[in-house]
Amino acid sequence: MLVKNWMSKSVITIDADDSMSQAISLIREHKIRMLPVLRKGKLVGVLSNTDLKRASASDATSLDVHELLYLISKVKVKDIMTKEIITIPFDFTVEEAALLLIEKKISGAPVVDEKGRLVGIITRDDLLKVLISLSGFGKKGIQFALQIEDRPGSIKDVTDIIRSYGGRIASVLGTYESAPAGFRRVYVRAYDIERERMEQLKEELKQAATMLYMVDHRENKREIYS
């Protein structure tokens, strides 16, 4: 899944010569945390809430409201923006983007094309939407967390069991994290399961794998086994 398919393409930007007060107005109006800064259409910096707070913090305690308003109307974006820009290529995978945001401890970054032109912005909120989409959570249903043998066909074994009870598979996610050698953990979300046969389904799954938990999002029921 590529960044270009999940980024926000309608980017709110600001010019380097605009004032700090204009930046504050844009951030409040559009309820965003960051503004890419342009000069003659070229990306030259990024202005975040953190930059704005840092710029006004030192003077805020010594100025009255009118003086502070005057100050922020005179300060230019180019004087307070972050000039060392962290950008994300539009053809990065969302996993690469997420890792970069975590490593740099930032909430989002401008997305650029192969020529370095601004084409979008990707934020943690966008990446959370990816997670929800991948997990199939929008369909609610039931999520089964299982520890299974790491062998060919082991995932099919458990999904076949779920399908035999009317279940339609919305997503299957897997990881080796926290699983002992020779095993893996899988998270299966399914819907349309025959609820009156749930107890039988759980017993059959327990025979095929180690059940870690089950969450029924429709009924808001949670059973934690391990």
pLDDT tens sequence across 73-99: 778 999 999 999 999 999 999 999 999
82, 184: one domain:
no
The answer to whether the beta carbons of residues 50 and 58 sit under 8 Å apart is no
**Residues 34-52, mean pLDDT to the nearest whole number:** 92
Domain with 123 in it: 3-132
Long-range Cβ contacts of 29-33 (<8 Å, 24+ apart): 33/107, 33/108, 33/123
Q: How many folded domains does the chain comprise?
A: 2
Burial of 221 (0-12, 13-18, 19+ CB in 10 A): exposed
The confidence band for 66, taking pLDDT boundaries of 50, 70 and 90, is: low
121, 43: one domain:
yes
pLDDT tens track for 149-184: 999 999 999 999 999 999 999 999 999 999 999 999
- pLDDT the model gives residue 136: 82
Examine the pLDDT at 204 and tell me if it is beyond 90. Answer: yes
Predicted model pTM: 0.78
**Residues 122-128, mean pLDDT to the nearest whole number:** 94
Examine the pLDDT at 70 and tell me if it is beyond 90. Answer: no
Picking from 132, 167, 200, the residue at the C-terminal end of a domain is 132
The CATH number assigned to the domain holding 196 equals 3.30.70.260
Picking from 87, 106, 132, the residue at the C-terminal end of a domain is 132
- pLDDT the model gives residue 53: 81
Picking from 132, 163, 196, the residue at the C-terminal end of a domain is 132
- DSSP E strands, 68-136: 88-89, 108-112, 118-123
pLDDT tens track for 13-37: 999 999 988 999 999 999 998 999 9
121, 189: one domain:
no
pLDDT tens track for 127-155: 999 998 888 887 789 999 999 999 999 99
State how far the Cα of 59 lies from the Cα of 104, in Å rounded to an integer. 28
How does the average pLDDT of the chain come out, rounded?
A: 90
User: 195 versus 118: which is more confidently predicted?
Assistant: 118
The answer to whether the beta carbons of residues 62 and 84 sit under 8 Å apart is no
User: Half-sphere exposure of 128 toward its Cβ, with a 13 Å CA cutoff?
Assistant: 5
State how far the Cα of 187 lies from the Cα of 203, in Å rounded to an integer. 17
The answer to whether the beta carbons of residues 47 and 81 sit under 8 Å apart is yes
- pLDDT the model gives residue 57: 58
The confidence band for 65, taking pLDDT boundaries of 50, 70 and 90, is: low
**Residues 195-203, mean pLDDT to the nearest whole number:** 94
